[in-house]
Amino acid sequence: MPSGNPFSWRFVAPLYMGSTLNPINSSMIATALVPIAAFTHISVAQATILVTALYLASSIAQPTAGKLAEEFGPRRVFLVGILTVFLGGLLGGVGRDLTMLVVSRVLIGVGTSTAYPSAMLLIRRRAELAGMSKPPGHVLGALQIAGVVTAAVGLPIGGVLVDAWGWRTTFLVNIPFALIAFVMAALWIPRDEPIKGTKTVREISSRIDVTGIVGFAATITALMVFLFSLPEPAWIALGLAVVLGAALIWWELRAKHPFIDVRLLAANLALTRTYARFASLTLCIYTVLYGVTEWIGAARGMTPLETGLLLLPMSGLSALVVGPISKRNLVRGPLIVSAVSSIVASIGVIFLTTSTPIIWILLITLIFGVTMGTMASGNQTALYMQVTADQIGTASGLFRTFGYIGSIASSALIGIVFHTKVSDIGMHHIAIIMMVVSIMALVMTITDRRLGASNKDASAVS
């Protein structure tokens, strides 16, 4: 451990850069779907498989990367992930058909998913090595800004890239950032400890619970097929998700080294509620990012770039909110504020019409910026305090998976309401649903007596 500040800029810089790649890639592709559809001679609706591919890959890869980081070292997993991003960006940049682009998005999704759980594990280990009894709030806050708040930045970035140099740049832009992040991580992040002993394939499979990972992947895939099938539900996919989920729980309860520690989730209900809160308010945030922006485009004819620029103040305000909250390791208060602000902003959306002044739309998105900042920082600090160091990798990855479930649920909601036509009435229906979800998140927060509890006793009390 170096003397002085354990979290020097050299240590955190590659972690922050790596963590920005997933959310930016999640939203940046939206601006490229129309030209990609034209290039591959498919409909824009069919081109959205590029969005689905990254969501699905990320949802599965986030907790998997966390588990691998716990077993083989976070630095190793981070570096392999960044190389995967490089390959994905290169493949997409030279892609000649939809299949190549889908594979590219899967590689980018898997690669970028290694950054956040690896970063959380590296930060937790370094904090404990430095003898810190409290979470390093300033570091976690900056990581949250890099990992969540930057999602809104992808829209204007993508718009600029596509307008200036074409859709391929939304893939190629990953190459220089991946190279920079890889070099910084290789030089500045301390090496992982050597892997002790020679392990057979069976031993490694047992340690990382390959069966559990496959079962989790199958369950999430079936669930997302159902969500993306809405408003024409694929009930077979939902039934399969339920059956696979039940089988996964049965297996994990008996596994010696479970991938998803079901007993932990059952015993540590504080952690389970953190996941549920994060998914609920992520649904509201992504509904604003995509539902409100779709409505703005249809109602006012604004381009994706113009819409993205309109959302930049929302992203900027959320980043400003995260800092002071994270530095003080605040949990309960910010989470109450996040739910209340989401309720207030959702009420504002109910009054939106095609003649509403832009300033009113901007004000509503700024309120959602408060929601994003307080939700992100409060839940991440809660997560950090609710699990032990040897659980933080997988727990952090699963945290992100619940965020993806929320974002995909928002896509399903938007698809149902705007199935035939993007209208004011549809936007109002979405606002009512968002308000109900926000009220549920508020009740969940107010009644949660475990918020702010240390990781030493969080698992002991539900």
**Rounded CA gap, 436 and 401, in Å?**
22
| Of the candidate ranges 132-136, 186-190, 387-391, 454-458, the one whose mean pLDDT is the lowest | 454-458
Query: Is residue 1 within 8 Å of 125, Cβ to Cβ?
Result: no
Domain ranges of the chain: 1-193, 263-462
Nearest to 413 by CA among 272, 292, 276: 292
Please, which residues have CB within 8 angstroms of residue 222's CB and are 6 or more apart in sequence? 237, 238, 240, 241, 244
Mean pLDDT throughout 224-250? 89
Give the pLDDT band (50/70/90) at residue 232.
Answer: confident
For position 453, what pLDDT does the model report? 52
Q: Are 352 and 424 in contact (CB under 8 A)?
A: yes
The alpha helices in 130-268, defined as continuous H runs, are 137-147, 154-165, 169-172, 174-188, 201-208, 210-229, 235-254, 262-267
- pLDDT score, position 126: 92
CB atoms within 10 A of CB 210: 15
Q: What is the pLDDT of residues 106-122, one digit of tens each?
A: 999 999 999 999 999 99
What is the model's pLDDT at position 256? 84
Contact by Cβ (8 Å): 75, 122:
yes
**Contact criterion met (CB below 8 Å) for 57 and 220:** no
Closest CA to 287 of 75, 423, 120, 431: 431
pLDDT classification of 460: cutoffs 50, 70, 90: very low
Q: Which CATH architecture has domain 1-193?
A: Up-down Bundle (1.20)
The pLDDT value recorded for residue 411 is: 79
pLDDT in tens, 440-453: 999 999 998 877 55
pLDDT of residue 462: 40
> Can you give the length of the chain in residues?
462
Highest mean pLDDT among 37-41, 145-149, 153-157: 37-41
Whether pLDDT at 323 is above 90: no
Query: Mean pLDDT, to the nearest integer, of 203-211?
Result: 81
The pLDDT of 211-230, averaged and rounded, is: 87
- Bigger pLDDT: 45 vs 24: 24
Report the pLDDT value the prediction gives residue 455, as an integer from 0 to 100.
45
* Separation of alpha carbons 361 and 424, rounded Å: 13
Residue 237: band (very low, low, confident or very high) from pLDDT cuts 50, 70, 90:
very high
Q: Is the pLDDT of residue 324 over 90?
A: no
For 252-301, write each residue's pLDDT tens digit.
998 888 888 888 788 888 899 999 999 999 999 888 877 877 788 777 77
Q: Pick the range with the lowest mean pLDDT from 75-84, 297-306, 330-339, 424-433.
A: 297-306
- The encoded tokens of residue 175 equal 């190459």
Please report which confidence band the pLDDT of residue 197 belongs to, taking 50, 70 and 90 as the band edges: low
DSSP-derived 3-state class of residue 173: coil
Q: 263-462: what fold?
A: Growth Hormone; Chain: A; (1.20.1250)
pLDDT band for position 458 (50/70/90)? very low
**Banded pLDDT at 239 (limits 50, 70, 90):** very high
Q: Where are the alpha helices (DSSP H) in 3-48?
A: 9-28, 33-40, 44-47
Q: Do domains 1-193 and 263-462 have the same CATH topology?
A: yes
Two tokens, residue 424: 């004011």
Give the pLDDT confidence score for residue 113 in this predicted structure. Answer: 93
Percent of the chain with pLDDT over 90: 40
Mean pLDDT (the chain, rounded): 86
Residue 203 confidence (pLDDT): 77
Check residues 5 and 131 and name the one with the higher pLDDT: 131
